[in-house]
Structures are given as structure tokens and as C-alpha cells.
Amino acid sequence: MKKYQLGEFEEVVMLTVGVLFGEAYGVSIKKEIESRLSRKVSVGALQSALKRLEDKGYLKSHEGESTQERAGRPKKYFVITALGKKALEYTRSTRNELWEAIPKIAFDLKLIE
């Protein structure tokens, strides 16, 4: 079911939007990913992913109020859509099925060494 495919970074971004429910905007998403995953995130990569996810219908955005500190520009907040929830559920179930299909012996460290 290709229509629900998410890249690894897209999945991380969507999950982070969910974690930040109500407070998910560019800077907060970037900080949360970097904090939780100890992973540097470029603003460009994040903005590209957010745009892609919105174009796919997985995220929806709305503007907050303008602030002085942002030179009058409003923050753009993101939320997960119903379609986005389906995509995350599909990704989760696919990963779980794959994990469950791995035979126990595949992780037997004695065989690997």
C-alpha cells in the first residue's frame, strides 16, 4: 500500500508533531527531535519534510498570532490529519509485522560472533 509510505525522517517529524500537540511549529519540532534523538536537524530538511507531509495530506497547518520577536510574522503550527494518523498506523503495523517475523535465532549473538 504505497500511498501510506513514510520515509524515516518523515515518520520522526510526524511523531514529533503528535508529541508536541498544540505547540508543534518549526523551531519546537526541530528542538524536540534534536533533544529526544540526539540528532542534528537542519532547518531546510525540516521545512522540506513539513511541506511534503502537508502536500500528502498527512499534516495540516494554521498560523498563530504575529509576535514582535518574529518581526510581525506568525508561527505556523502543524497538526496530524486523519489521513496522517492512518499513515502512522500503517507504518507502525508494518514495522511490527517485520519485527515479529524475525526468527529468534537471527538475534542469537553466538551465531554472529
Q: How far is Cα of residue 56 from the mean position of the Cα atoms in its chain?
A: 13
**Residue the block writes with cell 508533531:** 17
Q: What is residue 112's predicted lDDT score, i.e. its pLDDT?
A: 57
In this predicted structure, the answer to whether residue 106 has a pLDDT above a threshold of 60 is: yes
Count, residues in the chain: 113
Q: What is residue 62's predicted lDDT score, i.e. its pLDDT?
A: 95
In this predicted structure, the answer to whether residue 107 has a pLDDT above a threshold of 90 is: no
Residue 98: half-sphere exposure toward Cβ, Cα within 13 Å: 6
Q: What is residue 65's predicted lDDT score, i.e. its pLDDT?
A: 78
The mean per-residue pLDDT over the stretch 80-85 comes to 97
Q: Where are the beta strands (DSSP E) in the chain?
A: 59-66, 74-80
Q: Model confidence over 20-76: pLDDT tens digits?
A: 999 999 999 999 999 999 999 999 999 999 999 999 999 999 998 777 766 678 899
In this predicted structure, the answer to whether residue 1 has a pLDDT above a threshold of 60 is: no
For the chain, domains (ranges, CATH) are 7-112 (1.10.10.10)
Residue 1 in grid coordinates = 500500500
